[in-house]
Chain A
Amino acid sequence: MSQKLDSKIPAGNLSDKWTQYRSSVSLVNPANKRNLEVIVVGTGLAGASAAATLAEMGYKVKAFCFQDSPRRAHSIAAQGGINAAKNYQNDGDSVYRLFYDTIKGGDYRAREANVHRLAEVSTNIIDQCVAQGVPFAREYGGTLSNRSFGGTQVQRTFYAAGQTGQQLLLGAYSALERQVGVGNVKMYTRHEMIEVVTIDGKARGIIARDLVSGKLERHFGHAVLLCTGGYGNVFYLSTNAMGSNVTAAWKAHKAGAYFANPCFTQIHPTCIPVSGHYQSKLTLMSESLRNDGRIWVPKAQGDKRHPNDIPEEERDYYLERRYPAFGNLVPRDVASRAAKERCDAGYGVGSSGMAVYLDFRSNMMNKYGRAEATKAGIENPDEATLVRLGKEVVKEKYGNLFDMYKQITDEDPYEVPMRIYPAVHYTMGGLWVDYELQTTVPGLYALGEANFSDHGANRLGASALMQGLADGYFVIPYTVGSYLSKEIHTKAIDTQHEAFEAAEKRASERIEKLMGIQGKRSVESYHRELGLIMWDKCGMARSEAGLKEAIEQIRALREDFYKNVRIPGKVNEFNPELDKAGRVADFLELGELMCVDALNRNESCGGHFREEFQTEEGEALRDDDKFAYVAAWENNGDSWTLHKEELNYENIKIQQRSYK
């Protein structure tokens, strides 16, 4: 039924593939690069690093972002850190170990060759960022500092307090602005890509909407790079920024790019719980907190005592109990499910009972307080002294996160344990790409969270930043050359070409249709309703019956949207409601595909948990015989065709994942 998906994985030993690829890939000479134009959509870590690097190499680059500045892209909000196999801590880390942890963390649903390449270039990323002036945390001797993240037993995470994403993005942004300054990149802010233009089967440009004037613009490129992030906002409430959306990726999907593993969603275990109906987004508390925070619930159901009044022996540190080897640092999917299990069983805390405690007191006192006391020569310190001393250390490590928590909840986490609950955070699924990061449309590439390639069914903490920058700085500059070296005879195509004409017409008809509805309901209300369906039926736990129901509900909601939505204002003006309507319209289609994919995958793996498929202990039960494949969906207008890319594990023995 399906055309064979060619992942273009190079032959040879796993650890030689990338080196050999780089040594043999076709090159484009500098004179020709000046005549080749590349469009980069999105300016987060993947987009900014790709645009800057390609411009440095001599290509003519046009970069687009919907925000008012490329520096606002949502990579900026990443908190905890970035992984790299530097082994600076001498704790046994290596490229192989990072590769292995990532494949295992992804529950054996990622492609070996891509992940190994990611682990290889991880070390170059840290070097590059430091050279740009990224102020990573350092030790007193001046060397870089590391910490641990979930799903690993080494310390390989580099960080800048709790705002690593900000510092890395500002590094990539400065490299991008440098190229803007010298004229190699033309930057289009407040622009949204709403169509991919294809000519003779190849991506040749985009239609973008200037969000200030509302005008549609045509832009030609020899290649188009989508670096537009994930689609977690399909759930309405997520840790994503308000503007994060699937529109660019979805338009690419409709133009022929297959969408892979759409149901693989990451629910992050440590977020501030929902507090009211009006809530517009959820806020993450970094995974790095699990280095020093212990997660617990009361041993008694419905225990309403103040957490500080519950004695040690009446607390259930359920992660430490269930997973002694990894304890509080189990991967995100495991930690999230365990929290849900406790809350569903009636042990949850807070007014809604849908929260667990993340408690720093014990490490603040016993780990840091005691060490500081020893340093200061205080013998037999009392509890108050230990807390006082330990607090200073905790403040230095996580101060901004603690402040943010207090700001939002009005509770002081230095005194009272944080209350946390899982929330949608990241999407492992995305546009299907081959080893070169090319989608099924020649000339159209997807980088970073927008593609599906490296994290399987669950991403490890501190690996999103690594992948975004790996793709942008070190992968695409080589792989896009393989395509562009064959395009040196293609002259820039006039945007009067009929393909541009037709794409612009499609876009403008769609906008007119939306504006013409003039119904009664706000865009926001549809988005909220879609989010609830997705969270209830395609969230942390899924079932055949629930997914089938969800598909019907989404279809009905979509139909209602096109009858009753009300978009105020006009087309040709600054109109944020219209921008949002276009994005929600796409989410209403994507949501259905996510449920279709989840329904197809009759197994549990990573973040995809089907209630019918679990072990006796409630762990995810994979079915490797039937589902060791990437599900790549082709869009046929109002249905999808499934194409399978079989995953072959030649270097890792595929096994039941255990963190016990």
Chain B
Amino acid sequence: MSENMNINLKVWRQPSDQNTGSFETYKVQASPDMSFLEMMDVLNEQIIEEGGEPVAFDHDCREGICGMCSMVINGRPHGPKQGVTTCQLHMRSFSDGDTVVVEPWRASAFPVIKDLSVDRGAFDRIIAAGGYVSVNTGNAVDANSVLIPKDTADKAFEAATCIGCGACVSACKNASAMLFVGAKVTQLSLLPQGQAERESRVVAMVNQMDAEGFGACTNTGACAAECPKEIPLSVIATLNREYTSAKLKGR
């Protein structure tokens, strides 16, 4: 807490997607117990005091669950640590005197709004295309009338922990959204409640994913390696299998 760290920041500044962007250099004093975003807060207070324009970045819960924070830090989505979001990354992961490069998610399906903020509306549209169970309020049967083996429920839960942050897309050289789509398809295809729409769902979601301009998957695995929730690469295998099977059935 008393120790101070001097950090050199190279931050991507871009007024909007209509303008080109470039890196700006800043110096910030941080402490090891600060989160990365708190360090960005300090930077912004500093910029405001000097009469400049603060860096725009998305963030909300700061507990690693809402999925709003993004930032590519030293070339890696959510920074150098495994399994954490930017908001849960702490400055103790860096050293005094480090130069840290901060960029937005880069993908044509995620246009830059300003500086480090991007538009991830494409993810919502993919869910709207089919990432649900069609059950109107009031239609449900008693919750314990459908038994689900613990292992199946656990696997569905694991896939369902995706926070929709977009790190997978950012990490992928093709900006593919297969890990995101695979996670939702896996969750719902495992559960009995998801069976009725199993085939139409996967086709609709993949079609929307393609329409949004996400790239193809070449099984490099960068997405799973960078996913802050450690969604496994196997969800992509499930997605491929579900899609092929639906197509073979003429969907």
Contacts and interface: CB of A to CB of B under 8 A. Distances in A.
Nearest to A131: B140
Nearest to A158: B143
A278 B123 contact: no
Interface in B151-190: 153-154, 156-157, 160-161, 163-164, 187-188
Interface string B37-62: 11001100101110111101011111
A278 B42 contact: yes
A532 interface: no
A144 B144 contact: yes
B127 A174 contact: yes
Interface string B129-153: 1111111111111111011111001
Contacts of A142: 147-150, 153
A170 interface: yes
A69 to B, nearest CB: 5
Contacts of B127: 173-174, 177
Contacts of B163: 166
A525 B124 CA distance: 35
Interface string A129-170: 111110111111111100000000000000011010011001
A141 B58 CA distance: 43
Interface stretch (A29-37, A70-78, A618-626): A70-78
Nearest to A275: B33
Nearest to B160: A135
Interface string B16-27: 100000000000
Contacts, number: 217
A278 to B, nearest CB: 5
B121 A407 contact: no
Q: Majority SS of interface residues in chain B?
A: loop
Interface stretch (B84-92, B94-102, B218-226, B234-242): B84-92
B34 A276 contact: yes
B137 A242 contact: no
Nearest to A138: B153
B72 interface: no
Interface stretch (B5-13, B112-120, B209-217, B243-251): B112-120
Contacts of B54: 568-569, 576-577
A321 B200 CA distance: 59
Given A67-B68, A189-B121, A275 B1 contact: yes
Interface string A44-58: 000001001100100
Contacts of A569: 53-54
Interface residues of B, number: 80
Nearest to B157: A135
A410 B92 contact: yes
A76 B150 contact: no
The interface size bin for chain A is 35 or more
Contacts of A466: none
A404 B88 contact: yes
Given A133-B193, A136-B153, A568-B53, A163 B1 contact: no
Interface centre among B33, B45, B66, B131 (most CB of A within 10 A): B66
A524 B65 contact: no
A49 to B, nearest CB: 8
B1 A276 contact: yes
Nearest to A280: B38
A128 interface: yes
Contacts of A284: 63
A582 interface: no
A68 B128 contact: no
Given A67-B68, A142-B148, A135 B156 contact: yes
A184 B156 CA distance: 29
A202 interface: no
Given A130-B143, A177-B132, A279-B38, A522 B123 contact: no
A100 B116 CA distance: 49
Contacts of B136: 53, 56
Contacts of A71: 67, 124, 164
Interface in A102-143: 124, 126-133, 135-143
A96 interface: no
B90 A407 contact: yes
Contacts of B52: 568
A28 B68 CA distance: 39
Nearest to B119: A68
Interface in A437-475: 473-474
Interface string A540-560: 000000000000000000000
A608 interface: no
Contact of B124 (A56, A129, A133, A177): A177
Contact of A408 (B60, B88, B191): B88
A131 B141 contact: yes
A566 interface: yes
A241 interface: yes
B68 A68 contact: yes
Given A133-B187, A524-B41, A160 B53 contact: no
Contacts of B191: 133, 135
A283 B84 CA distance: 15
A391 interface: no
A181 to B, nearest CB: 4
B38 A278 contact: yes
Contacts of B67: 69, 71-72, 76
14 contacts: A68-B121, A72-B66, A72-B68, A74-B60, A133-B132, A138-B153, A144-B144, A174-B131, A178-B132, A276-B33, A408-B88, A408-B90, A474-B137, A568-B51
Interface of B: 1, 15-16, 31, 33-35, 37-38, 41-42, 45, 47-49, 51-54, 56, 58-68, 83-84, 88, 90, 92, 113-114, 117, 119-121, 123-124, 127-144, 146-150, 153-154, 156-157, 160-161, 163-164, 187-188, 191, 193-194
Closest 8 CB pairs of A and B: A142-B147, A181-B128, A174-B132, A131-B140, A127-B140, A135-B157, A177-B128, A130-B143
Given A241-B60, A278-B34, 9 more contacts: A131-B140, A135-B154, A143-B147, A160-B160, A174-B127, A181-B130, A408-B88, A574-B114, A576-B56
